[in-house]
């Protein structure tokens, strides 16, 4: 993701699912396949980061609750 995207986790997952369907259909030429795999890689990284941040935020909430 070269530019900063304002993308939700759900939108990223939906786009990933669309890419998977295209790849599974086997109807992409080599150039398009490379582009789609690259985009999927970017989306996976985005989702992993989003999940990690969410996990950290939830852990902080539970820590605050336990300290109260």
From residue 66, give the alpha-carbon distance in Å to each of 19, 26, 49, 56, 62: 42, 52, 26, 15, 6
pLDDT of residue 2: 42
pLDDT of residue 30: 94
Contact criterion met (CB below 8 Å) for 16 and 44: yes
Render each residue's pLDDT in the chain as its tens digit; 68 residues.
445 578 999 999 999 999 999 999 998 999 999 999 999 999 999 999 999 999 999 999 988 878 87
From residue 37, give the alpha-carbon distance in Å to each of 14, 16, 31, 64: 15, 10, 10, 41
Decide: helix, strand or coil at residue 4. coil
pLDDT of residue 1: 47
Reported as type and span, the H/E element at residue 2 is none
pLDDT of residue 5: 73
pTM reported for the whole predicted model? 0.82
């Amino acid at each position: 993701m070269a530019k900063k995207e304002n993308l939700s986790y759900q939108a990223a997952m939906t786009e990933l699912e669309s890419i998977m369907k295209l790849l599974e259909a086997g109807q992409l030429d080599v150039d398009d396949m490379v582009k789609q795999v690259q985009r999927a890689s970017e989306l996976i990284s985005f989702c992993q980061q989003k999940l990690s941040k969410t996990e950290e935020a939830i852990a902080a909430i539970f820590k605050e609750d336990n300290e109260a």
